[in-house]
Amino acid sequence: MTLPSSGAIPAHQFHPSILRAYDIRGIVGETLTAADARAIGCAFGTIVRRDGGRSVAVGRDGRLSSPELEAALVEGLTAAGCSVTRIGCGPTPMLYYACAEFPTDGGVMVTGSHNPPTHNGFKMVKSGKPFYGDAITGLGEIASAGAWGEGAGAGAVEERDLRDAYTERLLRDHGRDIRPLTVVWDAGNGATGDIMSRLAERIPGRQVLLNAEIDGTFPAHHPDPTLPETLEQLRAAVAEEGADMGIAFDGDGDRIGVIDGRGEILWGDQLLMLLAEEVLARHPGAPIIADVKASKTLFDHVAALGGEPVMWRTGHSLIKTKMRETGAPLAGEMSGHIFFADGWYGFDDGLYAAVRLLDLVGRAWPEGTTLAERHAALPRLHATPEIRIDCPEERKFDTVRAVTEAVTVDPQAQVSTVDGVRVTTPDGWWLLRASNTQAALVARCEGEDKAALGRLVAGLARTLDGQGLSLPEDIRRLVAEG
């Protein structure tokens, strides 16, 4: 393949919707093309070279559009003078692993994450840290000005298969010497399929694999384990196999979903409650970070264990940055991103979280203790699921600001503006924040009992009505039932 010099790539304007807060993503053939990928590579490569670097690792997920986008991305990177190591198809955390274990100056993953098959995008790492926010804005400015690095010459390209090394690292400290468990695994035809299969071969017990073949059309179900409907196949298999648990992954493997042996879903904050017990036993008093959507019970549980609960902004890049600032050994989000710095690298990895969970159940807990028993014993309040409210892109942040100004006058309310607005009242709390990935607002409510939850939802509904927006009908029914 003949690679162009950076000077041969013209200035490039991206569709305004694809440069997001944490990454770049769009609809292939509509808002995202190979030309975009080439410009992203050249702009990112220019930034890496400007800061004295040269080496960039590149990976891709299993989507049908990923090979073409990855090839164009590599063209852009090499045109900017970067040397590229292509690690092939696999989960996003394998790209993070490559950047951490075999230090590179940057890394780019071509992935649509948990989005529909027609979507795709890019997640980036630079100098071992997330590349997001203003850095992505700056990338867009370089491309629009055509301000590529000059005189570097075309960079070299090599291929490196990290699947065995990554699998070995996942199992190095955990997952080998556990009591045998029956586990159902569901890759959802996503990018974890191959590594998941390799892991399962080496873990004690009986491992049942679902949808392990990587298929970018996602024929079994949508690759998002935060949606209960995507876990129905897993739940049925857990029941049929009499399994101790079921584990699912999203499309690029940086998120985990868990079903216990009774078929109940463990949400991200509940999983974090269990994992925090073991981590805080090794790191007494350490900070444990969770996003603003997490239950009050999680923060109370961390405090009761002697840890320091830290509520932070939603978003994998933001959480990773906060972990570095605070030295937190563990963090998590309601969306199933679990971040271990205890024994791991501080990035979100669904496969590693799965290994740590198996180690917890199969070794740390007394023999005979089941995940379902521990799950049932966790403290619970009454909460809504995550609520998405359609809101035009140009209005969503202004709407949250207006709501924040309105609620701060209530003397009974405690208001947190860490991310959007989280309002605590005697009934519980409600949250409203602008989505960083969609033209939507995100809300959640949690009450001390069902009646309290109904009052919170009703209050949120009135607040939104004042902004010309409405709660979805199924959430409004919750008010009537309360």
Q: What is the pLDDT of residues 239-267, one digit of tens each?
A: 999 999 999 999 999 999 999 999 999 99
Does residue 23 belong to any structural domain of this protein?
A: yes
Region 181-203 average pLDDT: 98
- The reported pLDDT for the residue numbered 4 is 55
Give me the domain span that covers residue 360.
Answer: 165-377
Record the tokens describing residue 86, joined without a space: 């292509």
- The reported pLDDT for the residue numbered 3 is 46
350 and 396 in a single domain? The answer is: no
Q: Quick one: pLDDT band at residue 481, thresholds 50, 70, 90?
A: low
Region 394-410 average pLDDT: 90
Single out the residue of 26, 24, 23, 40 nearest to residue 315, CA to CA.
23
**Number of domains the chain is built from:** 3
CA–CA separation, 9 vs 39, rounded Å? 8
CA–CA separation, 351 vs 356, rounded Å? 9
Tell me the percentage of the chain whose pLDDT exceeds 90: 86
Task: Among 377, 408, 430, give the residue marking a domain's end.
Answer: 377
269 and 409 in a single domain? The answer is: no
63 and 193 in a single domain? The answer is: no
Q: How many CB atoms lie within 10 A of CB 455?
A: 17
Q: Residue 145 is part of a domain; what is its CATH number?
A: 3.40.120.10
Does residue 186 belong to any structural domain of this protein?
A: yes
| Stretch (H or E) spanning 276 | helix 268-282
Active site residues: 113
- The reported pLDDT for the residue numbered 431 is 97
261 and 308 in a single domain? The answer is: yes
How far, rounded to the nearest angstrom, does the alpha carbon of residue 181 sit from its chain's CA centroid? 27
Record the tokens describing residue 21, joined without a space: 């807060």
Per DSSP bridges, beta strands 205-210 and 181-186 are: parallel
415 and 428 in a single domain? The answer is: yes
Does residue 1 belong to any structural domain of this protein?
A: no
Q: Quick one: pLDDT band at residue 336, thresholds 50, 70, 90?
A: very high
409 and 371 in a single domain? The answer is: no
pLDDT at residue 190 tops 70: yes
Single out the residue of 405, 450, 361 nearest to residue 178, CA to CA.
361
DSSP 267: -
157 and 177 in a single domain? The answer is: no
212 and 333 in a single domain? The answer is: yes
Single out the residue of 108, 54, 119 nearest to residue 251, CA to CA.
119
Q: How many CB atoms lie within 10 A of CB 299?
A: 19
94 and 154 in a single domain? The answer is: yes
CB 61 within 8 A of CB 110: yes
**Residue matched to tokens 């959480």:** 319
Q: Quick one: pLDDT band at residue 452, thresholds 50, 70, 90?
A: very high
Record the tokens describing residue 48, joined without a space: 């890496």
Strand order in the sheet with 245-249: 205-210, 181-186, 245-249, 256-260, 265-266
The 10s digit of each residue's pLDDT in 348-389 is: 999 999 999 999 999 999 999 999 999 999 999 999 988 999
- The reported pLDDT for the residue numbered 7 is 58
Q: Quick one: pLDDT band at residue 9, thresholds 50, 70, 90?
A: confident
Does residue 177 belong to any structural domain of this protein?
A: yes
Record the tokens describing residue 225, joined without a space: 């384990």
Q: Which has the higher per-residue pLDDT, 474 or 271?
A: 271
The 10s digit of each residue's pLDDT in 146-156 is: 999 865 567 89
Strand runs labelled E in 417-475: 421-425, 428-434, 440-447
Kindly report the average pLDDT of the chain as a whole number.
Answer: 94
CB 147 within 8 A of CB 46: yes
Task: Among 324, 345, 377, give the residue marking a domain's end.
Answer: 377
CA angle, corner 88, sides to 24 and 106, nearest 5? 50
CA–CA separation, 155 vs 80, rounded Å? 7
- The reported pLDDT for the residue numbered 1 is 37
Task: Among 161, 195, 228, give the residue marking a domain's end.
Answer: 161
- The reported pLDDT for the residue numbered 2 is 41
CA–CA separation, 113 vs 91, rounded Å? 9
Tell me the percentage of the chain whose pLDDT exceeds 70: 96
CA–CA separation, 61 vs 65, rounded Å? 9
Q: Which has the higher per-residue pLDDT, 60 or 479?
A: 60
Q: Which has the higher per-residue pLDDT, 91 or 6?
A: 91
DSSP 216: T
Q: Residue 452 is part of a domain; what is its CATH number?
A: 3.30.310.50
Q: Quick one: pLDDT band at residue 131, thresholds 50, 70, 90?
A: very high
pTM over 0.85: yes
- The reported pLDDT for the residue numbered 475 is 79
367 and 448 in a single domain? The answer is: no
Percentages of the chain per state (helix, strand, coil), in multiples of 5? 40, 20, 40
Q: DSSP letters of 164-179?
A: HHHHHHHHSSSSSS--
